[in-house]
Structure 1
């Protein structure tokens, strides 16, 4: 009987809810005028601005905010999407509807080896196409990474990007609203006056799980962004009654600044150079009109780790052999443009819990009374396989779910797009309480690349993710999964006879269940993106950009977004991108004669 309910969830309810989601998002955009954002700027062909920022996502919103603090500078922000849907600001609803928000619709190139748990054999690389970008659709986790991440950046030739140097920028952007952290020893690491609201609250539903992780030797932390990162904690969220997207947090408060101009529904086609100096941007408006807009000081690419390297290559900066193959005149041979692609890959792990009497969906309906919160209790962990190691190897984002919930099914079918067989097995497991977790390999050695599909700026580039192409990553991921699932040996889990749910991965059915070989197969087939693509315009001694994020080989052009990370950090990337943009804004001011 319960299997029938699971089948109905996946085959009928999930597709129906997906249609309803699209209708809600569409109608909210059509009939609700979101007054939180500036009106569309009116520009003429050949018009000049001091700065042009390409991409109104997480980084671009911060840069536009900080540069317009200089009253006599004019700043144009060019965004390919529109204002975010009104419902994006409501935390609980935005999590459930995010998969239907405007998206760039990037997919990885099929490699024939990975992603067998997805019907297409490819991975949807979700990226928000709207003001605020993916910060409108992320899960709102505020994670800075580990001190060692930034010290390693500095050691790679990027002086000034060590932990002590970046911490002030994390603090500058943050407005902490958490009694839990305010009472902790790590309060000194946080800011309270920034644009970005951050909250953190512990709830009773997670206590028994924290007790289990503690029994297995893990520290329980008050602050995942404190002096120590290794351990389990409740997350910090980028929400303060409303979702703190970059658009809402950094553009709404300054929407009436007279020196801020925003073009929406406008595609940046390429950067135009006078010799080796970037002087203008060719843009295409929604009705197809192409214009050239000039920048007298600098052009800043904040289009993201897929679109920024695409724009560089369309503008003649990239690997010469590839540009010639595509018919693009090479302005500067920069072989590393688009390479070094990194991402956090996740797989789901479901552990069974107590047999409760909760009626199906009843717990989900309680969301209607708590729309200003994350829609599920959450536990976040960062774990090192070597116990003398100070930085984590994997991250756990776990949701204790009540019997009959639809949340697991929706995440499976509508967010990560695993196939029906897997989603039915996942839905079937909800006949009792479950601990649904996403386990993330934090430091993959595998590297992918971005390459042009054509010279048409409207054509999405090719994303060669090459996830787990390094065999060491496969083995490491399997070790992480073995380590995490050992929690079923904790007393509270053994008491309820907790089991690892078999998600029926057909490619792995001949492997001994939950063995090392099984987890290796499982990781290869169920991997999905955590949407943390980075590294494709990496900074470094010989990188695409220098330590001040200036594009090598030309003048007047910088990249400011996740693509400049030389190595991906130990956690979610939203907070990190905001920090990069804050630091870059000070560099831009300083290099243009204004003290930060």
Structure 2
């Protein structure tokens, strides 16, 4: 980190993608880059962030934005909660090909495949997996450590029962969900290596030409006509600072904060800007719209004693003491766990004349996560059981058809959270699809060989499996976000009128990925960095 000054070549307004962009632009040591960061500057030194076991504890912590969110807003049902607070999966080739309709040919699978691999460096220290994975999901340029979840010996009985149940129902196992097709039960990969959870901050570590200004809030972007020339920020003392960029400003503030900053700066729909008295730089009717996310339904079963992680992670006793010692001494054991060793991808059967409303390119309809413990990150509305072992099953609807949601301004105060409406389950097809996904998993767990012998009752109340209407009501009441929002500053092929400003983060996604969105965020960041470099041949 270099000394603070007021002008830089590039300014990046925070975020996961922003760190990647800054790190790649820093390849020329003569280029100066400023990162405006809302959070801490030293995430590597914060155990709550880097300890894999702590991931779910971050919800509601000082590192969580705790956005208040409208989950569903139907004529017959409305819910507003505060849910919004990682695994590595690329998505289907067919879904990236859907991006071409919005961003052009270079955003299809063939155009982005190299960027799916570029950020990661894959580790298989014990030689358990195919050698080809080192090039299938990573690259020699990779910086972000990635590896398969540790196969904890404590969880071997659980893994064996799940695999046996899955196969007994005619479903397949796979080692490859990284080549454009995603079907079957696969072992999960995380950005965890040797007990350490990494994130995009690794891209800007040890970069002397990158300055990180942490714990700052963005007030507005600065424009000279239609060119963004800088940004005004302030810290906890309220003092405002304005920084200018001689080359470009890149907004990477994330799915909710990027559109908020754009609108606060005069880029947005007239119906939002004018009532708040915001001077319009450019009337942009789409800013904040097209909000997408994966609705999920998490169910909990009782597990046979000894099959879950609770005793190793939460409850005082020899199992927890041993887990703490293993992590302290060797960075191994349950505290090194990514929680979910397995994830599954599956299509439902189309019953619409052969036409699949959720994707006609063979994409999976569901991602299913199997977590051998009670997980309050997905069930914060349910009391945490004080005894016993439990099993959380999370069914994500990957390609919802409901009308997208929207992010709006509540006021001109940059510290006030935006108004967020996910608009989940507005279309009855999404409710039906989640119902079928839950029943598919129920059948495997309750009737599949192996698992049927180790699970017990639902928690905290029985699932109404014999009634479509009652199940649909349960879905409306208990569904949650998959924490995969995107789309609020969507890219397009043509720009009839625009400003000289780049947005590089999940808000530019055209179609939501049919998996967790982390990998797609890195795609946008890596591709965006290359696009910037190509515009400055004298620098790169």
Flag whether TM exceeds 0.5 (same fold): yes
Cα distance in 2 for partners of 1:529, 1:208 equals 28
**Partner residue in 1 for 2:516:** 572
SS in structure 1 of the partner of residue 204 of structure 2: helix
**Partner residue in 2 for 1:304:** 254
**Partner residue in 1 for 2:230:** 280
Q: Is 1:517 matched up with 2:469?
A: yes
Q: Provide Cα deviations, 1:444-474, integer angstroms capped at 9, x if missing partner.
A: 1231100001111111111112111222211
Which of 474, 490, 501 aligns to 2:431? It is 474
**Partner residue in 1 for 2:363:** 391
**Partner residue in 1 for 2:130:** 183
Cα distance in 1 for partners of 2:539, 2:466 equals 57
Moved more, 392-401 or 303-312: 392-401
SS in structure 1 of the partner of residue 458 of structure 2: coil
Cα distance in 2 for partners of 1:184, 1:521 equals 47
Q: Provide Cα deviations, 1:526-564, integer angstroms capped at 9, x if missing partner.
A: 12222211000011236xxx6xxxxx7334300000000
Identify unmatched segments of 5+ residues in structure 2.
Answer: 351-359
Cα distance in 2 for partners of 1:389, 1:122 equals 34
Cα distance, 1:42–1:333 mapped onto 2, change above 3 Å: same
**Partner residue in 2 for 1:380:** 343
Cα distance, 1:297–1:356 mapped onto 2, change above 3 Å: closer
Q: Do the aligned partners of 2:487 and 2:508 also contact (CA within 8 Å) in 1?
A: yes
Q: Provide Cα deviations, 1:59-111, integer angstroms capped at 9, x if missing partner.
A: 01101101111222211111122233611354334325322242222111476
Cα distance, 1:336–1:357 mapped onto 2, change above 3 Å: closer
Q: Do the aligned partners of 1:61 and 1:246 also contact (CA within 8 Å) in 2?
A: no
Moved more, 560-569 or 474-483: 474-483
Q: Is 1:346 matched up with 2:301?
A: no
Which of 106, 115, 134 aligns to 1:169? It is 115
User: Aligned runs of 1:227-376 on 2, under 5 Å?
Assistant: 228-252=181-205, 254-255=206-207, 257=208, 259-356=209-306, 361=315, 362=317, 363-368=319-324, 369-370=326-327, 371-372=331-332, 373-374=336-337, 376=339
Q: Do the aligned partners of 1:220 and 1:232 also contact (CA within 8 Å) in 2?
A: yes
Q: Do the aligned partners of 1:114 and 1:525 also contact (CA within 8 Å) in 2?
A: no
**Partner residue in 1 for 2:357:** none
**Partner residue in 2 for 1:7:** none
Cα distance in 2 for partners of 1:364, 1:396 equals 28
Cα distance in 1 for partners of 2:101, 2:498 equals 25
User: Aligned runs of 1:137-156 on 2, under 5 Å?
Assistant: 140-156=86-102
SS in structure 1 of the partner of residue 96 of structure 2: helix
Q: Is 1:107 matched up with 2:57?
A: no
Cα distance in 2 for partners of 1:243, 1:177 equals 13
Instruction: Using structure 1 for the length normalisation, give the TM-score.
Output: 0.78
Identify unmatched segments of 5+ residues in structure 1.
Answer: 1-37, 127-139, 402-407, 547-551
Cα distance, 1:284–1:225 mapped onto 2, change above 3 Å: same
Q: Do the aligned partners of 2:50 and 2:197 also contact (CA within 8 Å) in 1?
A: no
Instruction: Using structure 2 for the length normalisation, give the TM-score.
Output: 0.86
**Partner residue in 2 for 1:70:** 28
Paired positions, count? 506
Q: How far does residue 400 in structure 1 lie from its aligned partner after superposition?
A: 2.7
Q: Provide Cα deviations, 1:235-271, integer angstroms capped at 9, x if missing partner.
A: 001011254433442122x34x2x2111111212111
User: Aligned-pair RMSD on alpha carbons?
Assistant: 2.9
SS in structure 2 of the partner of residue 280 of structure 1: strand
Bigger share in strand: 2
SS in structure 2 of the partner of residue 423 of structure 1: coil
Bigger share in helix: 1
Q: Is 1:42 matched up with 2:30?
A: no
Cα distance, 1:104–1:527 mapped onto 2, change above 3 Å: same
SS in structure 2 of the partner of residue 299 of structure 1: strand
